[in-house]
Every structure is written in structure tokens, then in C-alpha cells.
Amino acid sequence: MALALVTAAILARLLAPADFGLIAMGATVTSFVGLFSGLGLSAAIVQREVIDQDTVERTLAVECGDRCWSLAIAIAAAPTAASLYDEPRLKWIIPALALPLPIAAAGAQHLALLQRGMRWLSVQSIEILSQVAGATAAVALAWKTDLGYWALVIQGWAAVVVTVVMVWILCPWRPSLTQNWGHAAPALRFGLYLTGFNFLNYFHRSFDNVLIGWRWHATELGFYTRAYALFMMPLTAIAWPLSAVVVPAMSRAQGEPARWKRLYLTSLAATVVVTTPFSCLLYLSAEPLVLVVYGAKWEPVVAILQALSVCILVQPIYTSGGWIYASLGTTRRLFWAGIPAALWFCAAFGLGVQYGV
């Protein structure tokens, strides 16, 4: 979290709000296309009680092919998105943001195997090194060149390349040329329903950016995304890494109900205890935090951050629902449960956008 905070502070002083807004506009397209990249197969590798060479190889093949198609779709969608947002620069930004999708596929199963094996030191080392690489590239380009928002694009490229290289170094698994698809069927079914849920979850995570970018354009969206970035820092630093640990552990315990329940309740309680103080801290210190981290030109972020900080109180409960369905392999139920949630969030965003960011 400290690295992300320092990087955000530096880039906020080197780049304009509109630069972040442009990237957020492009990300609404690439994140939507990315929902279908990999079809949830990495999560299936983590969740399966028993895994074999054939299953991992087939899921890798499907993921690589699917992510290449996702890149092609993003490229094709770029002109339409540029017209919708009335922002011609998106014709180039969107394909550039989507470029890491097929690159990431080369290391997706390796990373899943590291998570499945609970090699958390390796996983966290990869995460930190990739963040350092991305941050270094972005800050250097923003400081020494006039590339502007392209520094944020290249930040993503650098992080993905380092991740792929590191997972191949740290994970000993290597694909072969076998052609047995039978063992991969359960993992494919698991992944398809998880992809369906991710599609619904997109409207929770990104539809707000779509509406704000369409209604108020890049600068206002830039303010919103910087507030959202600060709001997400406690979750990305605490709750999400915990999820990476909890889901494999609960998956291994799915045949022992008492142990499974204990793992869930203990993990949820730990998440609530840690994240609740952050909610209070963000709300009370929003103004000095924004001025210190981002600078005076980002003052509109303060009110947005205060409103978002309250949501941290309920976020652990929402996140933990995914632990239940993923660890038990019941992604079909997760998909159906996501439908009313998506409708609720879309209605709330549509109502809220009438009254400002």
C-alpha cells in the first residue's frame, strides 16, 4: 500500500486530472473485454481438489486463445468507444491498454499453481516486483518526457511483463504437447460460470466510470478515479491478498464443514477488524490526505473520497461472499446471486449520476 500511495502522489503531481480520466475511459472498455479473458480458468486451477497436467495445459491453451480474441475485440471496439465519449484519443488508448491481455495469459496458470500451492512469499514477491517495475516506468516517463497519459499505459505493460517473467522463474511447471481435453471439462464449467458472475460484477466496478465519463468527460472522471484509488488502497492491500490465501485454504477444507466454517468466520472477522479503522481514518482525514498525496489541484477529490470511505464498512461482507461460492465450486449459484446485485448497482448509479459525481 505504501508503494501505491507514493506512486499515486508522484504521478498526481506530474500528470493532469484529464490524463487519469482518459485512462479510466479506456479501461471501461478493456476491463469489460477482460471479463471474458481466461474464462475464470485460473480460479478453477486454484479451487480444484485434484489437478493434473492435462487440465492445466488445456486451461492454458484456452486462456491464451481467448485473450487473443479479447485483444481483437478491444481493437474493434475502440472507434465506437471514442465516438461515445467524444474523445478521439481513445482509438489508440484502448488497443494499447488491451495489449497486455494475451501477454498475461502466458503466466496465468503458473501464478494459479503458485497460489494453489500456497507459496505466498513467491506470490507477494511477484506482486511487489511488478508494482515496482510499473511505478518506475510510469514515473520516469511522466517526469522525463511529454508522453502524459501514455506513462500510465506503459505502467501496465511493465507490470505484466515482469509478472510473466517472474512466474516462469518461480513456478517449475512447464506445458507439454498432450491433447487430452477430458480432464479439463470440470474446470471449464467452473470458469464459465465465474466469467458470467464477473460480467455482472463489471456493472458494480466500472459502470460508474462509464456514466461519469459520458456525462462529464475526462477531467471530472479523473477526480473520481483518484478518489476511488485512495478508497481501494486498504482493500487491495489487505482484503484482496487475504482472499488469495483464504480461497485456496477453504477449497482444501471443503470436505470438512467445521474447519471450512472456522476458516471463513476467522478470515471475515480479521478483515472487518483491519478495514474498519481505515474507513474512519479516510473519512476524517480526507482533506489533508488528498492535499498531501495529490496536491491542491485535486481538492474536488475530498468530498468524493469521504462518500466512498463509508462503503469500506460493508465491503468485507460483500467480498467474503465470493470466498464461499469459489471455495465450494458453486460458481453457478454465484452467477445467479450476482444478477439482482448488478441490477441494484446499475439503478443506483443511474440515479446518482443525475446529481453529480
Measured distance CA(36)–CA(169) in Å, rounded: 27
DSSP 256-299: -HHHHHHHHHHHHHHHHHHHHHHHHHHHHTHHHHHHHHT-GGGT
Q: Which of these, 185, 159, 189, lies nearest to 40 by C-alpha position? A: 189
- Number of domains within the chain: 1
Around 83, how many Cα atoms within 13 Å sit in the side-chain half-sphere? 5
Q: What sign does the dihedral 195-196-199-200 (CA atoms) show?
A: negative
Mention every residue, 6+ apart, whose C-beta is less than 8 A from residue 308.
Answer: 227, 228, 231, 282
Contact yes or no for 23/94 (Cβ under 8 A) = no
CA distances from 268 to 5, 264, 324 (A): 25, 6, 11
> Is the pLDDT at 302 greater than 80, yes or no?
yes
Number of neighbouring beta carbons within 10 Å of residue 281: 14
Would you say residue 345 has pLDDT above 80? no
Least confident of 104-113, 286-295, 317-326: 317-326
pLDDT mean over 308-335: 78
Q: Which candidate, 238, 206, 228, places its Cα nearest to that of 319?
A: 238
Residue among 116, 112, 161, 111 nearest 136 (CA): 161
| Strand ranges, E, within the chain | none
The DSSP secondary-structure symbol of 36 reads: T
Mean pLDDT of 156-176: 89
Q: What was the pLDDT predicted at 136? A: 95
Burial 189-215 (b: 16+ CB within 10 A, else e): ebbbbbbbbbebbbbbebbbbbbbbee
Residue 222, classed as helix, strand or coil, is: helix
On average, the pLDDT of the chain sits at 81
Compute the average pLDDT of residues 68-85.
89
Residue 189's pLDDT band (boundaries 50, 70, 90)?
A: low
CB atoms within 10 A of CB 145: 10
Q: Which residues contact 279 (CB under 8 A, 6 or more apart)?
A: 234, 309, 310, 311, 312, 313
What lies within 8 Å, CB to CB, of 274 at 6+ separation is: 234, 238
**What is the distance between the alpha carbons of residues 357 and 321, in angstroms, rounded to a whole number?**
28
pLDDT of residue 43: 67
- pTM higher than the cut 0.75: no
Q: Which residue has the higher pLDDT, 211 or 77?
A: 77
Identify the band that residue 211 occupies on the pLDDT scale cut at 50, 70 and 90.
confident
Kindly report which listed range (15-19, 82-86, 177-181, 240-244) carries the lowest average pLDDT score. Answer: 177-181
Q: Which domain range does residue 65 map to?
A: 2-355
